[in-house]
Structure 1
Amino acid sequence: MTTVSARLGGSGTEQRPSRRRALVSGTAAMVAAGITGYAAGARGRPTAPPGGVSRAGASGTRPSSAPEAVALSARGSRQAGVDRPVQPQQHVALSVYDLPGAGRQDGPGSDFAGRSGRLVAGLGTRVLGLTTRDGDTALGGFPPGDLTVTVGVGPRVVAAVDGDLPGARELPGFAREDMPDSARGGDLMVQVCASDPQVVTLADGALRAWLQEHSAAPRWSQHGFRPPAPPTQPGPAGQRVPVRNLLGFLDGIVVPRTGRELDQEVWLPTPARVRGGTVSVVRRLRLDVARFAAQDLAQQERVIGRRREDGAPLSGGGPDASMDLGAKSAQGRYLVPAMAHARRANPNGTGSGLMLRRGYSYANGPEDRGLLFICFQRELRTFVATQQRLDDGDELSSFATATASGTFLVLPGFSGTRPLGAPLFS
């Protein structure tokens, strides 16, 4: 399947009837909430920035018991929204645009490259305004809290600067895709994340209005949600806690976790024009949740290759155990089935690096719900090799259809004196 390559992780052996009922009920509740488009985590209240009370809070519209959202600076050598915050916020709006003048292949130094650079720089200024403590003026009175905005440019834009740069290659076609041309590719990606869904909606709307005023044409967009990390597993600095997707399994188990792993697998060190950036792939995957849920638990776990309860690999060990692809039963069968998703997507099988995955569930109605897959890596090949291996044989793929797809160079970080995109376009 397309990246549910995101290695949808797995969990769960049944314990006792009461536990089984709790697991099933919890999954059913999450899926039911997803059908309405306002699922797990969408009940969060607007949150105040650290060290102060917002105007809305002072007026009594914000409960004093609402959790604080930790403010995240948009400034720095790398953009926020990739590895910051460590645990992704609960809500996302991801939008893809076409930029004006991209109808032909323009070479380095072309008018298209110059116009794109100026638009991106202006967008960065707008982002800085939204993500500061004063941003609540543009957000209808809501403080930005932990709002992050991550910007990437598509292959046509990168190739117009230098066709040899990372990010200049388009994604190839894959199996099980059902998408119009308008949902494939694109010149600009804007990923808006926050703990407060209202802040996400308002920030995404403000940026969309600004971009359309500057002739950017919306291509496709998707709002998504994810449950909060378990309160008993806050995840120390540098670690990410996987959360459940609409299939009821843990998502994002095998990812780079330490700073060293992120430097090796995610962040681009060279050339200087892209240093501090990364290559992103975004895919909207419609999942056949009902058909998957109709299978018994043992079959679901065979499809995933992990236990539903805790994400432990079927090869044995606990949730943190490495998957043993060679482990077999007494009868000589692989403990992790040959076509299990976790086996097919394992880097040891694909010969590729690790992706940093920050996926979200989405629900556009009872017939269109699934996974908004978002990953970051140094090389596009990391994703492509994984997806091609899944296309060659992966049981989970039969439950997933890609309805939108694109790849983008996430630009290096920026500040008030170093405009967004300056290293690339200068």
Structure 2
Amino acid sequence: MHRADRPPSRRAFLDVTGVTVAAGLVAGCSPDSARPDRPTPATAATPAPVPATGRYQAGITLPRTAQRNLLALVADLGPAVAPGPLLAELGETVRALTTGSAPRLLGLPPGDLTVTVGVGPRLVRMAGPALPGAADLPRFSRERIATRARGGDLLLQICADDPLLLPVAAAALLDRAGDRVRERWRQSARRGTDVPVAEGLTAPRNLLGFIDGIVGPHTTAEQERDLWLAGPPSVAGGTLAVLRRMELDLTRFAALSIAEQEAVFGRRRASGVPLSGGTAASGPQLGAKTPDGRYLIPVDAHVRRANPTVVGVGHMLRRSYSTDEPPGLLFISFQNELRTFTATLSRMDASDALLPFTTTTASATFLILPGFGRRRPLGSPLFG
């Protein structure tokens, strides 16, 4: 591997982080801001903490409105590394970080920091080849994925409203793992503005200007049906995650008229309402037609091609974030069957008006481990 292709070492990453924080401190103490006659700006309230322990891991349905910033880090375990002890140690570090008792937080309040840990198919197969999460993702069209950006043994999904917490938490977790892991890739991303779509439910806009993630298992009953794994006991309370990093052709999409953009998605850009009418939370009426017999929602519109009822699968809980350089989307979905994702994308591959504006550059699936606590270390039901 060429030197330029190697992921940064932990020491190099910490050095860069330290310079960045120092630069931020200097900028914050500029002469104008330090003048005693200037009014003191209001301090934003620290978000409420999110418990790391419990039946399920945090960072999926908790907090209910996803934090504004995310760092996804994918790594491999060394060939002789036992997953059980490593995961237990990572769980201890997660608990210390989220409660504010970790010295590695460098004095930052943890706020709504969450760390969600998943293991890749290779590790799941070590525990049981027939377990949920043991299957790799197949390849799809419109992919341009380097070898190190496909798959992986370990996922650390770190989320917080405060972006400074993300690299600090990542450095603490990697330091705890030591030489037992080798980083594959990482991606920082952020959420767009949240838009109300139903009572108690919001969804963010993506870089294409549309509301993203309206449909999903939002109620407890829907989540028990489509999100959480019910068994076997070693994975009960976990779920399956899919990560797909995509570049978006913003220039070509922006050249379309608003009507053409809405035809791609099958929804109104401003409100998220399906082209068949109703509200943003309404199910699209796929059979609705104009008086001259044309479908109100085009046959290749995204909401039609990805509709779970038409595909014959359950709902995904999508928790996607937008990326800056290059502009794109870090698609993240959680579901209790991998087929929910693979069957949906296979149908989209055949004819979905949105896909030609995307190129996938990273792809992986992980078993998100069940929740943990002091008497039940992270990963112990699977690797204990």
Range into which the TM-score falls when normalised by the shorter chain: 0.7 to 0.9
Aligned equivalent of 1:178: 144
Aligned-partner Cα distance in 2 for 1:185–1:63 = 45
Give the one of 414, 419, 422 matched to 2:372. Answer: 414
Aligned equivalent of 1:340: 301
Give the one of 386, 389, 404 matched to 2:362. Answer: 404
AA partner of residue 325 (structure 1) = L
* 1:136-175 correspondence to structure 2 within 5 Å: 137-175=103-141
Aligned equivalent of 1:198: 164
Give the one of 84, 91, 95 matched to 2:62. Answer: 84
Aligned equivalent of 1:40: none
Aligned-partner Cα distance in 2 for 1:76–1:380 = 24
Aligned equivalent of 2:212: 251
* 1:8-407 correspondence to structure 2 within 5 Å: 64-101=42-79, 115-135=82-102, 137-211=103-177, 213-230=178-195, 233=196, 239-364=200-325, 368-407=326-365
After TM superposition, the runs of 4+ consecutive aligned structure 1 residues lying more than 2 A away are 62-65, 208-211, 227-230, 233-236
* Aligned-pair CA distance for 1:298: 0.4
Mapped contact 1:134–1:143 kept (Cα < 8 A): no
Deviations 1:114-171 (A, max 9, x none): x011111111111111111324x32121110000000000000000110010000000
Aligned-partner Cα distance in 2 for 1:227–1:339 = 26
Deviations 1:180-219 (A, max 9, x none): 11000000000000000001221122223333x1320101
* Aligned-pair CA distance for 1:247: 0.3
Aligned-partner Cα distance in 2 for 1:292–1:227 = 18
Aligned-partner Cα distance in 2 for 1:84–1:302 = 33
Mapped contact 1:280–1:408 kept (Cα < 8 A): yes
* Aligned-pair CA distance for 1:240: 3.4
Aligned-partner Cα distance in 2 for 1:421–1:164 = 17
Question: What residue ranges of structure 1 are gaps of 5+ in the alignment?
Answer: 1-44, 46-61, 102-110
* Aligned-pair CA distance for 1:322: 1.4
AA partner of residue 91 (structure 2) = G
Instruction: Indicate the SS of the match to 2:123.
Output: helix
AA partner of residue 413 (structure 1) = G
Aligned equivalent of 2:20: none
> Normalization by structure 1: what TM-score?
0.79
AA partner of residue 210 (structure 2) = F
Mapped contact 2:241–2:335 kept (Cα < 8 A): yes
Aligned-partner Cα distance in 1 for 2:370–2:358 = 33
Aligned equivalent of 1:15: none
AA partner of residue 208 (structure 1) = L
Aligned-partner Cα distance in 2 for 1:320–1:382 = 20
Instruction: Indicate the SS of the match to 1:406.
Output: strand
Mapped contact 1:235–1:241 kept (Cα < 8 A): yes
Deviations 1:7-55 (A, max 9, x none): xxxxxxxxxxxxxxxxxxxxxxxxxxxxxxxxxxxxxx9xxxxxxxxxx
Aligned-partner Cα distance in 2 for 1:159–1:64 = 52
AA partner of residue 89 (structure 1) = Q
Aligned-partner Cα distance in 2 for 1:229–1:343 = 24
Aligned-partner Cα distance in 2 for 1:344–1:63 = 49
Mapped contact 2:217–2:317 kept (Cα < 8 A): yes
AA partner of residue 222 (structure 2) = E
* Aligned-pair CA distance for 1:359: 0.3
Q: Quick one: structure 1 residues 165 and 420, their matched pair in 2 at CA, closer, same or farther if it must change by over 3 Å? A: same
Aligned-partner Cα distance in 1 for 2:93–2:212 = 33
Mapped contact 1:277–1:410 kept (Cα < 8 A): yes
AA partner of residue 271 (structure 2) = D
Count of residue pairs the alignment pairs up = 346
Aligned-residue identity in percent: 49
Instruction: Indicate the SS of the match to 1:285.
Output: strand
Aligned-partner Cα distance in 1 for 2:89–2:247 = 34
Instruction: Indicate the SS of the match to 1:251.
Output: coil
* Aligned-pair CA distance for 1:71: 0.4
Q: Quick one: structure 1 residues 242 and 97, their matched pair in 2 at CA, closer, same or farther if it must change by over 3 Å? A: same
Q: State the superposition RMSD in angstroms.
A: 1.6
* Aligned-pair CA distance for 1:227: 2.8
Deviations 1:66-124 (A, max 9, x none): 033010110111100010001100000000001110xxxxxxxxx66xx0111111111
Mapped contact 1:119–1:214 kept (Cα < 8 A): no
